[in-house]
Amino acid sequence: MSNTDLERLLYTVKADFQTEAANIAALAFPQTEFRLLARIIGSTHAGLVLPKNQFKLLPSKIGNYNLTINFKSQNHALENFQVNFFPKINTLTLLAYYKDGTANLRYQPDNNYNWFNARGYEITRPDSIGEKFELLAREFYPFFEEFFLEQLNHS
Q: What is the pLDDT of residues 21-73, one digit of tens each?
A: 999 999 999 999 898 888 877 766 665 556 554 545 555 676 677 888 999 98
d(C-alpha 155, C-alpha 153), whole Å: 6
What distance lies between CA 67 and its chain's CA centroid?
7
d(C-alpha 93, C-alpha 109), whole Å: 12
Three-state secondary structure call for residue 59:
helix
**pTM for the structure as a whole:** 0.81
d(C-alpha 121, C-alpha 9), whole Å: 36
β-pair type (81-86, 91-98): antiparallel
152, 1 in Cβ contact below 8 A? Answer: yes
pLDDT in tens, 106-147: 999 887 899 998 888 899 999 989 999 999 999 999 999 887
Residues 6+ apart with CB under 8 A from 63: 43, 86, 87, 88, 89
Which run of H or E residues covers position 107? strand 101-108
- Strands in 81-86's sheet, in edge-to-edge order, are 34-41, 66-73, 81-86, 91-98, 101-108, 112-116
